[in-house]
């Protein structure tokens, strides 16, 4: 690859080179940008290392780019950042680092380019390209990073025990890069991860989860999870998932290994969707199987209720992993709870009532649910897979038809709790709840149309069953509602 030609064709590098020359500094592009340039992967994050003040170089570059360029300072780390269109350029002075045993925050002092490359995590991230006039565009590769890229190899530039002891997060990063790039981890490097796995305890959960999410979002996430498992890291950071591993046999009857099944489901989802939270739903869809596993002599192993328990476990797992406890978690919780529902429909036959309930409960996540359910079919029997997927096609066709007809996705009954209270002169109470549930169930069963007149008459009948007398008639309520919603 002609690095000089590439660097020359990118105006920002010429600007940095000019600024460095004016300040009398040597400057280099280093790290992931160079790696991805060789791999022909897009990368909009550029790390620039200079022998001197990175902040001073950033300020000079910004002044050359124009008045509207803002410098973001991170003085605690001695770095500065410039955003230019879709590029993020970070500037730092070359440095060397030393670590204490109980922290991944290093003591930092000025250093040489060699010092800076020595402190990098992997050989493929230690590559540099000169921005200096004397050798502009020259590749600097002290640890054989180009050869490791060619061999698809993750290896530390220094002794791996030193690299991982200094910053244990690098163990997660090694596996993340292997998963993202489809690389192997060199033998002694992987052995060091396995030997030093307990050092991960000094890393914050947020940083661990950030790397874990990048593994989840990789093209074949199961590869990263298997590496985490074989290294012993997964048992520390996500023990609930490891409990799925293994097959128990009794009276000659065994069940599938739910760990490897889950990883296959995750890969299947990854083929169809880049949505992080749908992928987390795949990870958690069977998470409660160990807790619900029972053996019955006639039917073998069962996991009754694992979808409900798994849904209840989801918030706790999200909280522990420092994942968001917002609508994203609620989506995952919902998909875990519902993931067997379409499978049951495919087995038992489709009824409008069951479809209405599924549409009502899944709402806007119905497409995600169907992706998860299709991914959950991991049988080795091709005829069984074909039969299930064919039944799913019928379920989806019926869902589309029913949605077009009844508009049930995220539907709300036209008779609200406020209307019930006003008609019967009630305060919030058990009776209001009973009538609301009865109306909703009647609409889902298809015995009542979700339209004012029909639903209102049904409400009156339910009220009469509870010995309630209306204090307002239908026309009064209709007029009141029209007034309320008229601008």
User: pLDDT tens across 67-76, in order?
Assistant: 788 899 987 7
Contact of 224 with 176, CB cutoff 8 Å: yes
CATH classification of 160-237 is 2.60.40.790, yes or no?
A: no
CB of 398 closer than 8 Å to CB of 383: no
The predicted model scores a pTM of 0.84
Please state which CATH number belongs to domain 255-406: 1.10.3210
Arithmetic mean of pLDDT, 243-269: 90
Local confidence band at 485 (pLDDT 50, 70, 90 cut-offs): very low
Which residues have C-beta within 8 Å of that of residue 307, sequence separation ≥ 6? 285, 288, 336, 337, 338, 339, 340
User: What pLDDT is attached to residue 114?
Assistant: 86
Say if CB 169 and CB 207 are below 8 A apart: yes
479 SS3 class:
helix
Q: Which of 20-24, 123-127, 282-286, 471-475 has the lowest mean pLDDT?
A: 471-475
pLDDT at 300 over 80: yes
Kindly report, residue by residue over 146-195, the tens digit of the pLDDT.
999 999 999 999 999 989 998 999 999 999 999 999 999 999 999 999 99
DSSP 413-471: -SS-HHHHHHHHT--S-HHHHHHHHHHHHHHHHTSS-SSHHHHHHHHHHHHHHTT---S
The verdict on domain 3-150 having CATH code 3.40.50.300 is no
| For the chain, domain boundaries | 3-150, 160-237, 255-406, 417-485
């Amino acid at each position: 690859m002609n690095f000089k030609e590439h660097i020359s064709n990118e105006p920002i590098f010429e600007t940095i080179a000019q600024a460095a020359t004016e300040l009398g500094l040597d400057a280099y592009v280093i790290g992931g940008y160079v790696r991805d340039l060789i791999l022909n992967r897009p990368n909009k994050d550029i790390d620039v290392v200079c022998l001197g003040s990175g902040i001073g170089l950033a300020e000079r570059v910004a002044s050359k780019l124009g008045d509207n360029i803002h410098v973001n300072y991170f003085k605690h780390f001695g770095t500065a950042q410039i955003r230019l269109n879709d590029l993020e350029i970070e500037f730092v002075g070359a440095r060397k680092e030393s670590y204490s045993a109980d922290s991944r925050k290093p003591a930092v002092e000025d250093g040489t380019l060699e010092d800076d490359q020595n402190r990098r995590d992997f050989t493929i991230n230690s590559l540099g390209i000169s921005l200096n006039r004397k050798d502009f565009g020259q590749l600097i590769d002290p640890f054989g990073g180009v050869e490791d890229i060619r061999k698809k190899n993750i290896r530390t530039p220094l002794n791996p025990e030193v690299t991982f002891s200094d910053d244990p997060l690098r163990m997660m990063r090694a596996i993340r890069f292997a998963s993202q790039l489809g690389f192997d981890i060199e033998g002694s490097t992987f052995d060091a991860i396995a030997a030093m796995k307990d050092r991960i305890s000094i890393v914050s959960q947020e940083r661990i989860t950030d790397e874990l999410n990048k593994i989840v979002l990789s093209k074949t996430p199961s590869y990263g999870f298997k590496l985490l498992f074989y290294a012993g890291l997964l048992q520390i950071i996500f023990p609930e998932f490891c409990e799925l591993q293994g097959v128990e046999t009794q009276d000659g009857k065994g069940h599938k290994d739910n760990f490897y099944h889950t990883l296959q489901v995750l890969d299947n989802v990854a083929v169809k969707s880049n949505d992080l939270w749908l992928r987390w739903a795949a990870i958690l869809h069977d998470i409660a199987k160990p807790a619900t596993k029972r053996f019955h002599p006639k039917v073998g192993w069962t996991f009754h209720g694992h979808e409900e328990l798994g849904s209840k476990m989801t918030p706790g797992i999200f909280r522990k992993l420092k994942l968001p406890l917002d609508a994203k978690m609620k989506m995952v919780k919902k998909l875990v709870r519902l993931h067997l529902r379409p499978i049951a429909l495919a087995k038992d036959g489709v009824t409008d009532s069951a479809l209405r309930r599924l549409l009502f409960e899944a709402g806007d996540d119905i497409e995600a649910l169907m992706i998860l359910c299709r991914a959950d079919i991991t049988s080795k029997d091709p005829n069984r897979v074909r039969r299930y997927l064919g039944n799913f096609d019928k379920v989806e066709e019926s869902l589309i038809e029913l949605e077009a007809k009844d508009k049930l996705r995220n539907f709300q009954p036209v008779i609200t709790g406020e209307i019930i209270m006003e008609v019967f002169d009630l305060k919030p109470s058990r009776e209001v709840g009973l009538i609301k549930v009865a109306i909703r169930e009647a609409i889902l069963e298809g015995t009542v149309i979700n339209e004012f007149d029909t639903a209102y008459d049904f409400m009156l009948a339910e009220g009469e069953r509870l010995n309630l007398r209306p204090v307002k008639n239908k026309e009064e309520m209709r007029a009141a509602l029209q007034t309320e919603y008229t601008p």
